Amino acid sequence: MSQSLWPDANGSTSPASRPKPAASTNPKLQPEEAFVPTIFLTLYLLVWPVIVFAVLAVISRAFLGEMLEARKEGRTMI
């Protein structure tokens, strides 16, 4: 099946009637130049779980401390 199922703006479904994408004005990065942004993006993505875990640990520790203090004093948490 060489034709698209979706018509373009003119109603045609042939691939030849579709506009070609514009050529990029930026040259492609060399592999060693692409390495640095990849490292930064990887570190950025990997640091979020660490931050979330740290915040969850602080909240959990504070809640546990409050719960133990309330139990020691004989009162409920709510």
pLDDT of 77 reads 81
pLDDT of 33 reads 63
| Domain housing 67 | 48-78
pLDDT, tens digit, for every residue of 1-44? 555 566 666 666 666 655 666 655 556 656 666 667 888 888 88
Tell me, yes or no, whether 56 lies in a domain: yes
Tell me, yes or no, whether 17 lies in a domain: no
Nearest to 66 by CA among 58, 46, 51, 1: 58
How many structural domains compose the chain? Answer: 1
Q: Which helix (H) or strand (E) holds 52?
A: helix 31-73
Rounded CA-CA distance 71/27 in Å is: 66
Tell me, yes or no, whether 65 lies in a domain: yes
Tell me, yes or no, whether 36 lies in a domain: no
With a cut of 80, say whether residue 76 has pLDDT above it. Answer: yes
